[in-house]
Structure 1
């Protein structure tokens, strides 16, 4: 039986770092080990109060449990989150980011959103907008395998309270947070910034179009660290991931439950009519040919996913197809093969492709995924031996066959890669989510288009914002001034080689890859 994951959550720290980490060390020794400590509310205090953190930054004191914090809730606190490398403040202290879903190695999923609700759509750094909330919602819903089997997430972290709970004591509650909690159905929802401990009885969100189950949420507000009233500011959890839990445990009701406080809320002005169902259709009703039904047409929209029908005999990438350019093939496994990219950026630009017709990585079986990981691992070893790091990208949009683009960079460029993706995303008005290492196809949207990049630091960038997505986006990033500085190679058609050059590239790559090629093991 899978062991439970132990998690700690604390309320507003406000510069009381020594008191917090001393208490966490005690709790960890007594009841741990805890995998993670999450902080909601205000982490930093006034400038003078934050001096306690200097000892931890300089290594004179140590944080015993990996700690992850939310962002600023006030404009004056924004500067504490600037110029962070990969969100790291010091060893074992990391800024999660503005929003996202963080998945622990155990499979526990923690959804989070930083800041307070913005008064307008133009959110400042310490605020979140409706778009931010919907992005978190979509990230949570994207991994469900069918339209009604969603089981919720394990934990939701926000600083601001949801509207619908104790409005008289908390006038600044957010309806967007209520909407988010109602939609993603967390088992536990933690928040802070109001200075009180409050734990209401559990409530159950009725089933809807995302799930056939009535899932239970426990809402907990935590007090400030070191508060004079000695109200509870630290909370310990031990739980199994929802995806590994018995369904009976998730749906079995208790006697002390209260009605869901979000059901009858007036969401006018917050979420437009039908916006919930429309945003869900975003994943399941994207037609790459552009023949999407218009809203004004009579009858209901067909909500089933549209699957592109492909004649595999004419697929450029299925090994059984007569159209495969076999001279580009470097090595072949049971389920995948490596080939030189057509119109390569350089001689180390290759592709990982499925031998049979599979549309995307999200639809791989466990056996497929295992071999794909072996190919990625072998390529990482190859490039490491050459003093290089590697980036893997996949665009599941306007393509019918699984293609993973592989390109290596000198080790000194590793830190630039994520920044280059972010710069290009801003240029094309794209929004990316940052996820941990891609270790399962369940982290990808099975039925919808997406673009994903696996970075050398083991983080993953993903976007499902695929309408009018630039087809050369990955090459735009790789060829940018910050990386390879060769804008003339953005379009692969401008980089086509003669067959003799392609063959020479393939032979050179095959020779370098030979020591790492597991397909020759018999």
Structure 2
């Protein structure tokens, strides 16, 4: 059943009036949920109305989502958000930069606040102030798609090719607009894009479609841009909007629609330090590089990097967003920098990209455990990372007609910076003959790391102490059509073992005959090559990517 959605323009603190109107409309239409665009609260917020809202004395009849607009959120609201407490029954803060999937399966991508030109790199740290950075917008491109895109600013050039805009004299001076918002909208191709109206006007642009559609089976992506006027505006411009979210395949653009108003974003040049400082570097290699530089100065060891300098956190100022392939609710998938294979390595088996990936939890934690994160979060994160692993395995097996299997590994140490998994394809024959398992066991013995044991387990709470885990997987044909071969191996070690963080890459390099590519720094690609690999992967992964809207 199609979700029925109600949308407000800026409420500007008129809480009783807004939710009273919603209650009346909900009684007639039974909405799945509501959205507030722009400002829910006002800078001079009526304390009495705010108190009534927080006390639950203002009825909100259905789930209602909001973000930050141009006005900071009230301190009482921020306090509840930071404590992870309910703001009010049925009222939900989307966050300033987020990807949310509602209980109806509607995917909402949110970027609140105005672009702060003074922050030249990195993501904004304060999630309640009405500002964002270019990196905030770029980070959200990895969401791949959206049913609804919710922003405070307009995308630049949204008025282009629009007769409605020309008739209403809408242009660059009408509302604050941003090129990065335009690029975000172009990348996500949302079904609806709602943005705040800065004045007493409503602009509902003609639907638009991209110049080309890469996936004819999914039809033509159609985007509708709508900017609603503030509630109770003096011009009596439209300030409320209700619609059913249609997810049916569109094969012909609707009457009156136009081609996309956006220019194609220009390619970005590679930054000078990107090769050395990136959250997508292969495993802990960058930490090792730093260790080697300081091996004669052990007394000067610096504390481990926080989220703002972590190679895997969204707050890393050197975030290479072009390498993000898919974003879930607890973890994301990205290509590895300096991949072990090349785009040609598995070409004969049907893969035209390196297929070296990292699966990374959002939370900056050393392990997937209750000690590093909450027990529930560890469980949910492990489940979604496992889902990414299964999807990758399925894609590799299908693309190669079961000629390829896969290896996924995890290094769990108390000294970790940010736990993650790495994934690599491997010829299925090496799995079925036991050569992959033998490769890991032999090198572990040579390096005096310890001995493996076969063990299936979930989060790190089930195995105390440090360990290395590897999943070896393949499908092979049999009389019934196919069966899974492989196992999960565990190697436990203590502080007395100097664990070689390059160990799993060395094993895989030898198995794949790619020993000349063992050192990731020697095989770093250009940004253009990395982007091409991501595009090729997304095309191959689309039928397996569970984060995509149905």
- 3-state SS of paired residue (2:426): coil
Q: Assess if the C-alpha contact under 8 Å between 1:338 and 1:350 holds in 2.
A: no
Q: Deviations over 1:404-438 (max 9, x none)?
A: xxxxxxxxxxxxxxxxxxxxxxxxxxxxxxxxxxx
Corresponding residue of 1:115? 113
The Cα shift of 1:100 comes to 1.7
The Cα shift of 1:358 comes to 6.7
Call closer, same or farther: CA 1:338–1:130 in 2, change over 3 Å: same
Long gaps (5+) in structure 2: 160-169, 272-319, 326-332, 344-350, 357-423, 439-450, 476-483, 485-503, 507-542
Corresponding residue of 2:464? 345
The Cα shift of 1:20 comes to 0.4
Q: Deviations over 1:475-512 (max 9, x none)?
A: xxxxxxxxxxxxxxxxxxxxxxxxxxxxxxxxxxxxxx
The Cα shift of 1:308 comes to 2.9
Q: How does 1:186-205 map to 2 (within 5 A)?
A: 186-195=190-199, 196-205=201-210
Q: How does 1:18-57 map to 2 (within 5 A)?
A: 18-32=16-30, 34-57=31-54
Q: How does 1:399-414 map to 2 (within 5 A)?
A: none
Q: Assess if the C-alpha contact under 8 Å between 1:42 and 1:193 holds in 2.
A: no
The Cα shift of 1:154 comes to 1.3
Q: Deviations over 1:359-384 (max 9, x none)?
A: 9xxxxxxxx9xxxxxxxxxxxxxxxx
Long gaps (5+) in structure 1: 142-151, 295-300, 318-322, 330-336, 360-367, 369-397, 401-439, 446-522
Corresponding residue of 1:126? 130
Call closer, same or farther: CA 1:59–1:292 in 2, change over 3 Å: same
Corresponding residue of 1:404? none
- Given the alignment of the two structures, is residue 176 of structure 1 paired with residue 180 of structure 2, yes or no? yes
Corresponding residue of 1:82? 78
Corresponding residue of 2:425? 308
Call closer, same or farther: CA 1:204–1:72 in 2, change over 3 Å: closer
Corresponding residue of 2:529? none
Corresponding residue of 1:395? none
Q: How does 1:209-288 map to 2 (within 5 A)?
A: 214-240=220-246, 242=247, 245=248, 247=249, 250-263=250-263, 272=268, 279-283=321-325, 286-287=335-336
- Given the alignment of the two structures, is residue 157 of structure 1 paired with residue 150 of structure 2, yes or no? yes
The Cα shift of 1:193 comes to 3.8
Call closer, same or farther: CA 1:358–1:26 in 2, change over 3 Å: farther
Call closer, same or farther: CA 1:180–1:358 in 2, change over 3 Å: farther
Corresponding residue of 1:8? 6
Q: Assess if the C-alpha contact under 8 Å between 2:194 and 2:227 holds in 1.
A: yes
Distance 1:137 1:217 in 2: 16
Q: Deviations over 1:282-339 (max 9, x none)?
A: 4398347744779xxxxxx96453443164325669xxxxx8735xx5xxxxxxx547
How large is the RMSD of aligned CA atoms in angstroms? Answer: 4.3
Corresponding residue of 2:60? 63
Q: Assess if the C-alpha contact under 8 Å between 2:220 and 2:252 holds in 1.
A: no
- 3-state SS of paired residue (1:216): coil
Q: Assess if the C-alpha contact under 8 Å between 1:133 and 1:180 holds in 2.
A: yes
Q: Assess if the C-alpha contact under 8 Å between 1:15 and 1:50 holds in 2.
A: no
The Cα shift of 1:14 comes to 0.7
- Which among 469, 473, 490 is matched to residue 357 of structure 1? 473
Distance 1:11 1:256 in 2: 25
Q: Deviations over 1:63-113 (max 9, x none)?
A: 111111112424x54746532133742221121112122112232211111
The Cα shift of 1:350 comes to 12
Corresponding residue of 1:96? 94
Q: Assess if the C-alpha contact under 8 Å between 2:138 and 2:180 holds in 1.
A: no
Q: Assess if the C-alpha contact under 8 Å between 2:139 and 2:321 holds in 1.
A: no
TM-score, reference length from structure 2? 0.50
Mean CA deviation greater in 173-182 or 84-93? 84-93
Number of positions where the alignment pairs a residue of Structure 1 with one of Structure 2: 322
